[in-house]
Structure 1
Amino acid sequence: MEAIDALISVLHPYDTLSEDERARVVRSFARSQLPEGAMIYTRGQILDGLYIVENGAVEITDANGALVSLLERGNSFGERGLLADGRAVTTARMARTGTVLLLPAAEFRRLIAESPDFARFFERGGRERSGRGGPDVATLKISDILTRSPVTTEPTTPIREAARIMREAKISSLGITDPDGRLLGLVTIRDMSNRVVAEGLDLQAPVSTIMTSDPVTLPPDALGSDVLHAMIERSIGHLPVIEAGRLVGMVTQTDLTRLQAISTSVLIHDVAGAETVEQMAEVTARIPDLLVSLVAGHQRHEVVTRLITDIADAVTRRLLAMAQDKLGPAPAAWLWAACGSQGRQDQTGVSDQDNVLILSDEANPDDPWFAELARFVSDGLNTCGYVYCPGDMMATNPRWGQPRRVWRKYFADWIANPSPEAQMLASVMFDLRAIGGDASLLAGLQSETLAMASANSIFVAHMISNSLKHQPPLGLIRGFATIRSGQHQGHIDMKMNGVVPVADLARVYALKGQLTPVNTRARLEAAEAAGVISGSGARDLIAAYDLIQTLRLQNQAHLVRAGRKPDNYLSPADLADFERSHLRDAFVVVRTMQSALGQGRGVLG
């Protein structure tokens, strides 16, 4: 028992248990000494409980016998099956002689029910509250409100130099600290006006002569309501944030106003009222702040991406209206449709543009009206931060501004002759979503294409093969396959190796089931409801997708708060141990589903 206690006392989440509770858990474990090659459990077998490697090594394989993980001391396995129907979803075998510990299933479930930390660790993809727009500032923690590191200076700094620091940093308050970072006082723009300019003080005097000593402070875990109350009660506009005696941030009235003003409804209202493209660009420049506030408010990832995509839709429609005002009536019916992340309604803080024009069969695609419409809108989107598609998948490309009959022929040719280019183009175009114009031009085309594609087994096979090209970044020994060189060395591309593999799988499921949703998560849910994918497979894949997208958005929000542009590159080293463990588990689920699809067992595995 002492050896077991020594092991789990340093493992999360067991290290969160009280001493008495941990002692009970330790007594519940059973130990088995097993030789190399011994089978611990096989896929589909009822699990006796949760396993932990005490020493030796255990290999985990999927339904096709492919190696998923090689586990060593401290790694646990079996939780996925226990949290589903109690049956193993993988096979576990001793790769090297050693011992494994078994926590009985009943004890595991008791801990899940009674320990929030235990439940959070093992239950991947927890569902957060949903909502429209920005978060409630009053309920946010100060640590979620802070947007930059504090700017400070020493008490002996001359007043003139302190004013220069504030001007160059574009801040309204300056922390006065000692060499250890402990807060001594605070100087604001108001102090510069009332205590320096109005009184005619010597600008070479130390800034300590005008600072407010021992100002009101709050800790990072205080709530926004605490900030509001303190500011109202004391008539102050700046509040230092102190942790362990050191200044870690500054919250201002401007910060609170900015958060309260940043919501989807406000941004869309401002877009709709914009008179110029430049005014719209000023609105879309606030999207990173919206991303930060939504993530801070613990909105679900599909809510965050939908709200951000709603703004892109509003910008596109406003540009279409502005173009029509400039060009006059259209010569024939048309539809502007988005594909890519906008089409799937999963845009984040970084997006390019992917769009097409579908014209009525009566339209002349060479009419300059359509080319001018496409150029105006595409240029406007680029100005607003939705940069030109590097693959030229835009309505400005004559190939993607054609009558409906041509689009029908495109899809028929891609399906009949599934070359690599045809597979790529079909994958993109299956994600089309109507944005502005005559939506009926797409509706019938989509249903026809789905029926045609799903009936062609060769095309479906090629689409399945195409969906397996993007692999999750899994390393062999409980790690990740990170980028090996260049600017993003040591990072994971959370889009191409995280989100895209799931989006590709969901597209195949939608194709096989002739399902009309375009959003990835909605496709997975529809595939489960239609029986295209098993309930357990759907739940695992949705949970994996939820975690991947959530960590992707949290990382983007972190970059924005650090003053950097958001991107899709995440360093596993920046994650806590339990986040790394769950992220890898999520990638394992994705690879397992890819393997099932590739082995021809369909999507019911």
Structure 2
Amino acid sequence: MPNALLPNIVDFISKVDPFDKLPTELQQQVAGMIKISYLAKGERLQLDGEPDGHYLHIVHTGAMEQRHHDGSLRAKLGPEDSFGFTFLEPVKELFRGYSAVAIANTLLYSVPHQQLQPLLADHPDSALHFAASAQERLFSAIRVKWSSRDKGLFVRKVSDIASNQVVTVDANDSIQQVAQQMRQQGRAAMAVVLEQQQIVGVITDGDMTKRVVAAATDIQQPVRVVMTSKPHLVDPDELVISAVSVMMEHNLRCLPVVRDNQVVGQLSSSHLVQNHRVQALFLLEKMKTIDNRQQLIALAIERQAVFEALVEGKVNAPVIGKVMALLMDGFNRRLIELAIEQLGPPPCEFAWLVAGSHARQEVHYASDQDSAIVFSDDASDADRDYFLALGQWVCSAMAECGYASCDGDFMASNPKWCQPLASWQQYYREWVEEPEQNQLLNATVFLEVRSLYGQANFCEQLQTLLFDQIASNSGFLPALVQTAVAVQPPLGIFNKLVLEKGGEHSNTLNIKKHALSLLIDLARIYGLAVGCRRLDTEQRFVSARRGGRLDKGSCKDVIGALRFISQVRYEYQLKRLKQGLPVGNHISPDAIGSFDRSHLKDAFRIIATFQESAKLRFLG
């Protein structure tokens, strides 16, 4: 290995799991062992032979595909992915399970078995990260704590790292003019298309290749003919991890950064430098390569590591909820894809909707499933059977991944919540027009829905119908208020905490039922009153302040209460996880300090005050 290459190799492996867990000295020793090889597309990697021919391989650039001996796909690997951990097993077991072939021109870094094995034997703590058993490596990952630098990604906004250099072209410019401008300015990845200063699309080098060159399109035509309409956009105040999730899901290299439909910058993959790669992003990326249900179930344990790092890092509650929701999205979406691979393509258009805390992106470690399927009105009976089977397959797999089934069965596996669009529209009309108690329970679950997969337009139609119905039915909000004030915060005489009596949760606080759900209900009421279409609880309170329904002080108080109670729940759930105990919403007051108990009482008083205010405002 030429010494001149060592700094570059050390720099690369120091950012790749599991080498990033090694002390700097060991990273340098490993770098000195590495053999560099090049595989042309289609070339097979030699995996058998004598023991001195066995390696742990790291993909530097390119892509590899692993296949079992029966020809089935084992995994697809890209830059920074490693394979060959089985070299740590006895030599006779080496590489008996799969073959590996380059599916693109690939540069590999390979660490020899014979040289790495003694090094790990001398450093048993580091050896754990290289365990041949995937399960052992997962448990090892749970014990890894992120550095302050890594945790910073979760609290950073897109505006913190995105470029503020706005590069735009006019929608009526010719394709040739735009191509020349992209080349001159070095903007091959993206050019933003504007019309009267409003973004109407984007044009990328991929668009130029597929829609111009391949289709032999006249280059004198306006660029709007070949641009991508309705592009994915990101708000400058959005979390970086949310933007990265969108980029990974849709295989995008850039996202326009847009505020009030005005382009203010762009976020590209080059802005997401290596020290912004953290475990949650790796986990989201891993899900895309999983090719069966059991593999995804095995991967689910890693979300505990993400949760622990967020809570231990004192990341604020809204961010924790959003990151955990992104992971839940990832599991749910990939399971839908796997189910479709097994059941066959959908017979007609459909949308998979998530509801409740999942829709609001306020997921905690014990969040359960709330979901629904909406499909085309022209679906046949056989089509209905298909979607019900899809719902049952995905919901059962989600439960196996650690997302409990909903106690009230508000899931896509229930035929009642797997219906054509017209039936859903009728549900919403009935809920708003006849807000009786049994109807309100259904309504409150599905008042917040978000499209996760399929035709997002179905979700948009339901939301539009909901707001139209509420605007024309004056009795709906008062009915919601009656329900929201029926449960009181757990404060008794002399401000003592009121605990559950009897049952398995005796002498505990149900912090969801008696606190967080009350805040969510109140935020929903105030948000709907001002026409707020945001789903997250905090933003609904903010919208109510901007709409004149809340004063600044009250808004600050209630958001403070929401964040504090959420943080107490997260920390209590973390403590239970570390103790190996079941995680839920019932908190023993003895398990939290006097500081938290005192501030919980303050938060409960704020909730009680808000309930009285809501009664006066909406019930007279």
TM-score, with structure 2 as normaliser: 0.55
CA apart distance, 1:574:
2.9
Indicate whether 1:517 and 2:403 are aligned. no
CA contact (8 A) 1:262 1:289 kept: no
1:339 to 355, 362, 387: 355
Partner of 1:363: 379
Q: How many angstroms apart in 1 are the aligned matches of 2:369 and 2:141? A: 31
Give the Cα separation in 2 of the matches to 1:376 and 1:255.
29
Shift of 1:465: 0.6
Superposed, 1:377-416 pairs within 5 Å as: 377-416=394-433
Distance 1:237 1:326 in 2: 42
Note if contact 2:142-2:304 (Cα within 8 Å) is conserved in structure 1: no
Please show how residues 296-445 of structure 1 align to structure 2 within 5 Å: 296-364=312-380, 367=383, 368-445=385-462
Q: Which of these residues, 280, 303, 307, is aligned with residue 287 of structure 1?
A: 303
Partner AA of 2:352 in structure 1: W
CA distance in 1, matches of 2:548, 2:280: 35
**Alignment length (residue pairs):** 360
| Aligned counterparts of 1:285 and 1:237: Cα–Cα separation in 2 | 21
Does the 8 Å CA contact 1:365/1:403 hold for their aligned counterparts?
A: no
Q: 453, 468, 471: which is aligned to 1:451?
A: 468
| Alignment partner, residue 562 of structure 2 | 545
Higher relative contact order (CA 8 A, sep 6+): 1
Offset of 1:571 from its aligned partner?
A: 2.1
SS at 2:410 equivalent: coil
Cα gap change, 1:396 to 1:464, in 2 (>3 Å)? same
Q: Sort the Cα spacing of 1:401 and 1:517 in 2 relative to 1 into closer, same or farther, 3 A.
A: same
Picking from 500, 504, 520, the partner of 2:517 is 500
What does residue 559 of structure 1 align with? 576
Q: CA deviation at 1:365?
A: 5.9
Judge conservation of contact 2:372–2:411 (CA < 8 Å) in 1: yes
Give the drift of 1:288. 2.5
After superposition, the C-alpha distances for 1:326-368 in whole angstroms (9 at most, x for unaligned) are 2332221110001122111111111221110111233336522
Map of 1:128 onto structure 2: none
Match of 2:607 in 1: 590
For structure 2, the 5+ residue unaligned runs are: 1-19, 23-119, 127-138, 147-276
The letter for the 2-side match of 1:581 is S
Cα distance 1:480–1:370, how it changes in 2: closer, same or farther (>3 A)? Answer: same
Partner deviation per Cα, 1:214-263 (whole Å, 9 max, x = no partner):
xxxxxxxxxxxxxxxxxx9x97849xxxxxxxxxxxxxx95797335972
Letter in 1 for 2:311: V
SS at match of 1:271: helix
Q: Secondary structure at the match of 2:144?
A: helix
- Give yes or no for contact 2:358–2:370 (8 Å, CA) kept in 1: yes
How far residue 536 of structure 1 moved from its aligned partner, in angstroms, is 1.8
Other structure's SS at 1:477 match = helix
8 Å contact kept, 1:470–1:500: no
What SS does structure 2 have at the residue aligned with 1:436? strand
Name the counterpart of 2:284: 268
- The answer on 1:474 being equivalent to 2:513 is no
SS at match of 1:402: strand
| Counterpart Cα distance in 1 of 2:499 and 2:330 | 37
Q: SS of the residue aligned with 2:451? A: strand
Counterpart Cα distance in 2 of 1:458 and 1:273: 50
- Quick one: which amino acid aligns to residue 493 of structure 2? L
Percent identity for Structure 1 against Structure 2: 27
Aligned to 1:85: none
Normalising by structure 1, we get a TM-score of 0.56
State whether residues 454 and 511 of structure 1, in contact with CA within 8 Å, keep that contact through their aligned partners in structure 2. Answer: no
Secondary structure of the residue aligned to 1:461 is helix
Large movers: runs of 4+ above 6 Å: none
Question: Letter of the aligned partner of 2:378 in structure 1?
Answer: E
Match of 2:508 in 1: 491
Taking the aligned partners of 1:557 and 1:572, their CA distance within structure 2 comes to 15
- 2:562, 2:603 → 1: CA distance? 7
Q: Distance in 2 between matches of 1:276 and 1:470?
A: 44
Separation (CA, whole Å) in 2 of partners of 1:454 and 1:256: 49
Secondary structure of the corresponding residue to residue 453 of structure 2: strand
Deviation at 1:486, TM superposition (A): 2.9
Aligned pair in 2 of structure 1 residues 236, 355: CA closer, same or farther (>3 Å)? Answer: closer
5+ long unaligned stretches in structure 1:
1-135, 139-231, 239-252
Post-superposition CA distance 1:76-118 (Å, at most 9, x none): xxxxxxxxxxxxxxxxxxxxxxxxxxxxxxxxxxxxxxxxxxx
Q: Considering only CA atoms, is the larger Rg found in Structure 1 or Structure 2? A: 1
RMSD between superposed Cα atoms in Å: 2.6
Measured in 2, the distance between the counterparts of 1:533 and 1:363 equals 45
Inter-CA distance 366–520: structure 2 relative to 1 (3 Å threshold): farther
Output the amino acid matched with 1:375.
Q
Match of 1:258 among 122, 144, 156: 144
Q: What displacement does 1:460 show?
A: 1.5
After superposition, the C-alpha distances for 1:123-172 in whole angstroms (9 at most, x for unaligned) are xxxxxxxxxxxxx999xxxxxxxxxxxxxxxxxxxxxxxxxxxxxxxxxx
* 1:303 CA displacement: 0.9
Shift of 1:325: 1.7
- Name the amino acid aligned to 1:350: A
**Letter of the 1:295 counterpart:** V
Is the Cα contact below 8 Å between 2:141 and 2:305 reproduced in 1? no
1:174-226 per-position Cα deviation (integer Å, ceiling 9, x unaligned): xxxxxxxxxxxxxxxxxxxxxxxxxxxxxxxxxxxxxxxxxxxxxxxxxxxxx
Task: For 1:366 and 1:520, locate their aligned partners in 2 and report how far apart those are by CA, in whole Å.
Answer: 39
Aligned equivalents of 1:414 and 1:235: distance in 2? 64
